[in-house]
Structure formats: C-alpha cells, structure tokens
Structure 1
Amino acid sequence: MSTYWINTVSRGHVTRGVAGGFTQANHGKPHMLRRMARDDWIVFYSPKTDYPDGAPLQAFTAIGRVSDDEVYQEDFDPEFQPWRRRVEFLPCTETPIRPLIDELAFIENKSQWGYRFRFGVFKIDEHDFDLIRSAMTG
C-alpha cells in the first residue's frame, strides 16, 4: 500500500530533480527520505521559483513515484553530498495551490494555509493526493 507525501522544494530544485530522476529533502538530509518506500507517491510543492531568493510561486510543480528501495548519497562535491531517492515522474502541469486550498484536508487552518509547508516533507491522505494529481494531470 502506497503512502502519499508532499515535498516542499523550490521550482529550480524540482526541475533538476525531474531531469535527473531523483528527489532530495530537508537540504540533503536522509531522515525523511528513509521513511519513504518503493511505490510511495510524492507531490512537489514549490513556494518559490528558486531557493533562497526566488520569486513567490505557490504551486504544485511535479508528481512522481519512488522507484528504489533505499536512500543513496550523491558524491559529486566534497562540500555537499546530499541523500536522494530515485523517482519516476509523471507528465504534469504546474498547478497553483490557491484554487485547491478549500478542498485539501491536510490544510486545517485555511487562513494560514502556508504553515503546513514549513515542515518540508509530510504525509497526506489518498483523497488529497488524488485531488492534486487530478488537477496536475487532468
């Protein structure tokens, strides 16, 4: 049975992940990625176009399924060796969050909807995942 996740990442980082078939979380740390399993689904939410100084975006920017069994560490820079998971991304359209806020159960306080994304990676239920996926791929 799949688990459904939101990963809060700038659009620039999401674009690099889609091109490379991977995801990172929490600035390259492994702990949340280790909680994911093969065939879990991830929706990527981008508050900004880039990190740290990009323009506000507030959109879902990618959707994919975890396609490996373990985290792995990238070794291309001695200063930064991030942990990653392999992801098979679906073709989709970038989708603004605002039209979906009232229907998303994981956003409990609709007036402070952005608060939930401060946690970086978190689980959502199947209903919310299906709603987002339908908006992005429908």
Structure 2
Amino acid sequence: MTERRQKYWLAIASADHVQRGRAEGFMQVCHGKSAPLRRLKQGDGVIYYSPAITMGGRDKLQSFTAQGVISNDAVYQVDMGQGFLPYRRDVQWNDTMIIPIRPLLDRLELTRGKSNWAYPFRFGLLELSEHDFKLIAEAMAAF
C-alpha cells in the first residue's frame, strides 16, 4: 500500500467564524457538512480565505485569515444549540498574519489570469496546489 501524499486545501468562511475556530482549535466548512471535511487527512495543510468579516456581511475583507495543519483523522459533530449540529476537524493553527488576496492574484495558479477569480470559492473547500499553498503560507509568515 502506498502512502498518501500530503494535500493542501483552501477553506472559505467569514473571518469571525475563522477566528472562533482558531481560538478553539478546529475548522468547519460548508455550513457544517461532513462530506467536505472527510476529504482532508491528518497532516494536510489548510488555509482559510475570508471574503467578509461576518457571514453574509457586506464588510468585505478578501483576505487569507488562517493557516494550519490537520491534527488527526477524526471528523466529529458538535451541538451548537437550536438544532445546529455541525461537523468539525481539529487543526493545529500556526501563528500567522491576515493578508489580502489581491497582491497574490497574478502569482497564484488558482487565480492567475482569471477575471472571475473568486467563482470557485463558492464551493467552500477546494484543493490547492503545493505552489499556491506555500506562496500564501510564506506571505502569511507561516514558515
């Protein structure tokens, strides 16, 4: 059996949601769905992009807001009350700066040459190339 190579992921959420996850050592995506989280494995790298400060807000941020590594292979559910039972993954978050995406648009394989660069972000979680992950993480001073 061959060992799975490390993968890199871009998760999308408002900055206030990312901040809570960083403080408590977890991530969740796609309004708490489990299927996207099951694609990630222990040791994978993850970066959060936040289009806004608050969910659904008009307070544009368009920045990378967190970077870390998936801690284990457990996907688990929590009760946040009022019938909301989202799934989460544990993440070891790195101490990084929040950085705007715009200066990197022409350097990232994901966005280079695309006028509608944010369109794929609507899926909530997408795989990043190693090049893009390292470029963003370096800009965030994660290395």
TM over 0.5: yes
What residue is the counterpart of 2:59 in the other structure?
55
What residue is the counterpart of 2:84 in the other structure?
80
In structure 2, distance between residues paired with 1:110 and 1:69? 34
In structure 1, distance between residues paired with 2:13 and 2:80? 21
Question: What does residue range 49-128 of structure 1 map to in structure 2 within 5 Å?
Answer: 49-128=53-132
Kindly indicate whether the alpha-carbon contact (under 8 Å) linking 2:8 and 2:44 is maintained by their aligned counterparts in 1: yes
In structure 2, distance between residues paired with 1:52 and 1:79? 20
List per-residue Cα deviations over 1:5-26 (Å, max 9, x = no partner): 0000100000000000000010
CA RMSD of aligned residues (A): 1.2
In structure 1, distance between residues paired with 2:81 and 2:122? 27
Equivalent residue letter for 1:124: L
Unpaired runs of at least 5, structure 2 = none
Task: Indicate the percent of aligned positions where both proteins have the same amino acid.
Answer: 44
SS at match of 1:132: helix
Unpaired runs of at least 5, structure 1 = none
Do residues 133 (structure 1) and 137 (structure 2) align?
A: yes
Question: Which of 36, 44, 50 does residue 40 from structure 2 map onto?
Answer: 36
In structure 1, distance between residues paired with 2:98 and 2:85? 29
Which protein is richer in helix relative to its size? Answer: 1
